[in-house]
Chains A and B, each alone.
Chain A
């Protein structure tokens, strides 16, 4: 009987076993990387806004407090996007004729809100409340990064569930005194681990079980 396969086919068969392991392993590794990449999370992605508004200028150069615009951050789930009127508090005098500000002027004239592009977009099934985080000593920059350095705001973190849980499982690693909430230069190493653990007790932060319970975030 004639040979069905060339003798080299044996080597192909053996190589295919090794190749299957390598390909499978690579595919698995690729998955773990792609799933966390900014391609899927929008991390570090700067969005084109309708107005060339710079947080670096307003926060970093001018030193305006976060709460001047995001007024409800201490009291409500949403930190709040300021109405055009807030802009006009200054800009009816400053740079009032600048072409860069024309969309703001137009919005004010026509009484139509500016359509800002949302940068941090949590899925609808995740419940998030700014006020409780601020009240328990989570500073702005812990999640949003150094906004005072961002000309155009981007998402500093992945906003994936594993990222949320990294703090909900060990909040004492990330909290700071309430007086430092709006401090953009704050670093976690500004306090010792003992001091942070004491803060956790003082601020009555709940147990790990409660913070990581399903219905804490998925209500």
Chain B
């Protein structure tokens, strides 16, 4: 019997550690928002992020006043930082959707304690991503021209352009992610409403929870809506980044025009996204003492997903090099040689291989997967690597095109960097506010993982190891 239990625990480890019941889980999570004093570190972290967000505001103000000339992009590298950062941010969002939608449909219980802030991360990352292409248009006040509306120009958008598909893909993604996140929050906001002592907070949480009383009918509708939204989000995990990759692969530029792009971009997005989830949840669980809910098992699982998606990405790099060689097309071969060996940006390619290819190999070992420290370090390296990937794709493909007379170099200006750092600040400022104001882990879903929630068929002997499946 003991043996059986140990095997069971290895296959299906408990997702909530320590001795928790309904009340203690609810207290633990809701107290972060309602009862505990805001930790001093929160003010420092938020302060730094907020200052960086001001850097973004200043850069955007200057951009409005002076135009896109303040950035380093110019022919032949017309895309550069704005698009690198756009793809980087939008990719980061994907882990949130994967965790909330696909893992929900696959009945992966371990998603439960990480999905809430992963979804928040998705939303904030999409907000950062959306800024770049809009500001990159140069006339952001006319950005609504990208939407099909009965305009006085008598024109439709160019639906044959992947950039147009991007508009729809990203807007849909942002909307569905917002809905999914908000619908999932409603029962928890109602919990905060019931527990808040301050009458203004009560009122605000009361408004946001739309009169949720937790009746059977409410739960029935909730479950149905959540499942439908999960179904709606699932294709988005694949479609959004496929379409982002079309921005490149539909063009005929060597280095962009590759059929491997959609799957390789999607895998890269999930890879980068899980790195960001780890970057967020490792300090979060340490500072707020949430190790019972976000366990080492969670981190290890995320490490495994990072390894798997990372290997797909490495396969993508190999496939690109192979296609270039196998095609024997002069321009393709030149591009690949230029990117890897002879070009001025060769270092970025090898740095990328180190970050995304070499660093993840440590994740094969349990020792690294179960160490918060090493996971954090690898996640940061991977985030840098995924940024470099977009740098390599965009800059090294554009700076040497078909005609040597149009070759050029790209160097970012100070405003390229302030804009990028600014969005990072904006992102973390939003994350800090979210942690302070909303339940950072789904309270009611974690409760379903507890031993108390196990349906007891025989009416005796509760299964206290928490491994049992939950009746829903």
A interface with B by C-beta (< 8 Å): 1, 4-5, 9-10, 13, 32, 35-36, 158, 160-166
Contacts and interface: CB of A to CB of B under 8 A. Distances in A.
B203 A162 contact: no
B206 A162 contact: no
11 contacts: A1-B194, A4-B202, A4-B203, A5-B206, A9-B211, A32-B150, A161-B154, A161-B155, A163-B154, A164-B154, A166-B154
Contacts of B193: 4
A165 B202 contact: no
Given A1-B194, A4-B203, A165 B154 contact: yes
B153 interface: yes
Contacts of A5: 206, 211
Contacts of B374: none
B211 A10 contact: yes
Given A4-B202, A5-B206, A13 B153 contact: no
B152 interface: yes
A65 to B, nearest CB: 33
B210 interface: yes
Contacts of B154: 160-166
Given A160-B154, A162-B152, A163-B154, 19 more contacts: A4-B193, A4-B202, A5-B211, A9-B211, A10-B211, A13-B211, A32-B150, A35-B151, A36-B152, A158-B152, A160-B152, A161-B154, A162-B151, A162-B155, A164-B154, A165-B153, A165-B154, A165-B155, A166-B154
B150 A13 contact: no
A5 to B, nearest CB: 6
Given A10-B211, A13-B211, A162 B153 contact: yes
Contacts, number: 34
Contacts of A160: 152-154
Among B154, B202, B206, chain A packs the most CB atoms within 10 A around the CB of B154
A158 B150 CA distance: 16
Nearest to A162: B154
Interface in B231-257: none
A35 B210 contact: no
Contacts of B202: 4
B156 to A, nearest CB: 11
Contact of B206 (A4, A32, A158, A164): A4
A9 B212 CA distance: 13
Nearest to B209: A4
A13 B152 contact: no
A35 B152 CA distance: 7
Interface in B37-82: none
A160 B155 CA distance: 11
Nearest to A10: B211
A22 to B, nearest CB: 19
Given A1-B194, A5-B211, A10-B211, A161 B206 contact: no
B161 to A, nearest CB: 14
A166 to B, nearest CB: 7
A10 B218 CA distance: 14
Contacts of B150: 32
A163 B202 CA distance: 55
Of all A-B residue pairs in the complex, the 6 with the closest CB atoms, nearest first, are A162-B154, A161-B153, A165-B154, A160-B152, A4-B206, A35-B152
B413 to A, nearest CB: 29
Contacts of A165: 153-155
A160 B154 CA distance: 9
A36 B203 CA distance: 43
